[in-house]
Amino acid sequence: MSLVYIESTNTLPEFNLAMEQYVFDCMDRKNDYFILWQNENTVVVGKNQNTYEEVSLPYIKNHHTHVVRRLSGGGAVYHDLGNLNFTFIINSKKSQKINFDEFTTIIAKALNELGVSAYVNGRNDILVDGKKISGNSQYIKGNRTMHHGCLLYETKLDEMSKVLNVSNTKIISKGIKSVQSRVANICSYMKEPMTMEEFKSHLVSYMSKREKIEKYMFSEEDIKGIERLKASVYDTWEWNYGASPEYNVIKSKRFEECGEIKVFMVVKYGIIQKIQIYGDFFGCMDVSQLTSLLEGCKLRIEDLRNVLGQCDIGQVIHNFSEEQFLELMME
């Protein structure tokens, strides 16, 4: 049996995560697969994470960054075109247990051939000089394992820190939180400069030394299947945000013309279950007329805006605008 190599030329994260799942679920299970892919600016959150807790929503909105949930667990990661992602999809040869070493060791050895002193730590990361250069995650179903990781090759590390930096909003969540680590780019440790395309070629060449590789190009039918999965799952708010576990959130901010406003919410599957609004503000209408409309609303800007269209926010909170309320809710 040969190893089937696939390189995705699409840089949309919604497509690439659908592509992974398509290969896992739909392609010939007699084969093992090795895939390389890149995403434009993206935060990929783990299956069990609370998206709202992991990302800076204002920064994402202003910098056109995608947010996509993956099938596997683990923490949130930042992708850009300086990041190279790899995926192994194999039939499990042993009992169904999470086992990172089998895959991370291969990548670490490939990096060592380039003079990069990479090694695997006790968790699921690849490090150089104590700094993380690759985070990894796994998804297991039946006798099939998907292992994927991101290689920080020449990633914009300053952007990473901004996009994963959540505001001071207090969130009490049942989701799995990301662990902040010191990170570094692989290119900083290489003896000789190498382009991203040369780096990809090296990884493929290294894999071909281990076993026979057959390159595969997606057919039109494959692309249609991936696009269907993308549209039904990875393009949807319900998957990327709504699948977040239940959490409580407290938002507090002072606005010069109307005073301090505090919002207490219980959110489940991205939908506001309960909400209370307090503060030292004035208003002509009881605040319950607003909160009753908000309960049952999805926590996304277009749905909130629709609700506000049914209530004059300035009557509830004097000198307070619709845009200020949206800013507070989505901060």
**Do both 212 and 290 map to the same domain?**
no
Q: pLDDT by residue (tens digit) across 224-242?
A: 999 999 999 999 999 998 8
**Do both 121 and 34 map to the same domain?**
yes
- Give the domain CATH number at 261: 3.30.390.50
Q: pLDDT above 90 covers what percent of the chain?
A: 55
**Do both 234 and 271 map to the same domain?**
no
Q: Which of 240, 258, 289 represents a domain boundary (last residue)?
A: 240
Q: Is 270 left (phi over 0), alpha (psi -120 to 50) or beta?
A: left
The partner residues of 275 in beta bridges, in order of sequence, read 265
Q: How many domains does the chain have?
A: 2
Q: pLDDT by residue (tens digit) across 122-150?
A: 678 899 999 999 999 999 888 889 999 99
User: Residue 180 pLDDT more than 60?
Assistant: no
Question: What is the pLDDT at residue 231?
Answer: 97
Mean pLDDT rounded to a whole number for the chain = 89
Handedness of CA 231, 236, 238, 242 (dihedral sign): positive
Region 3-29: mean pLDDT is 96
Question: What is the pLDDT at residue 54?
Answer: 85
**Do both 85 and 133 map to the same domain?**
yes
**Do both 121 and 263 map to the same domain?**
no
The pTM is what? 0.83
Tell me how far apart the alpha carbons of residues 40 and 82 are, in angstroms, rounded to a whole number: 9
**Do both 225 and 257 map to the same domain?**
no
Region 190-215: mean pLDDT is 93
Q: Looking at 220-279, which runs of residues are DSSP E strands?
A: 247-255, 259-268, 271-279
Confidence bin at 50 (pLDDT 50/70/90): confident
**Which range, 15-19, 25-29, 141-145, 318-322, is most confident?**
15-19
User: Which distant-in-sequence residues (6+ apart) come within 8 Å of 185 by Cβ?
Assistant: 82, 133, 152, 153, 154, 155, 157
- Give the domain CATH number at 176: 3.30.930.10
Tell me how far apart the alpha carbons of residues 45 and 244 are, in angstroms, rounded to a whole number: 10
Question: What is the pLDDT at residue 120?
Answer: 93
Q: Dig out the tokens for 138 from the structure.
A: 């796994």
Q: pLDDT by residue (tens digit) across 61-114?
A: 888 899 999 999 888 899 999 999 999 999 876 656 667 888 999 999 999 999
Residue type, 303: D
Q: pLDDT by residue (tens digit) across 286-314?
A: 888 899 999 999 999 999 999 999 988 88
Tell me how far apart the alpha carbons of residues 21 and 146 are, in angstroms, rounded to a whole number: 9
Residue with tokens 């003079």: 115
**Do both 15 and 163 map to the same domain?**
yes
Tell me how far apart the alpha carbons of residues 221 and 299 are, in angstroms, rounded to a whole number: 36
Tell me how far apart the alpha carbons of residues 135 and 201 are, in angstroms, rounded to a whole number: 21
Q: Which of 203, 224, 240 represents a domain boundary (last residue)?
A: 240
**Whether the Cβ atoms of residue 218 and residue 287 lie closer than 8 Å to each other:** no
Question: What is the pLDDT at residue 16?
Answer: 98
Confidence bin at 218 (pLDDT 50/70/90): very high
Q: pLDDT by residue (tens digit) across 155-177?
A: 999 888 888 865 556 666 666 56
User: Residue 197 pLDDT more than 90?
Assistant: yes
> Whole domain around residue 189: which residue ranges?
3-240
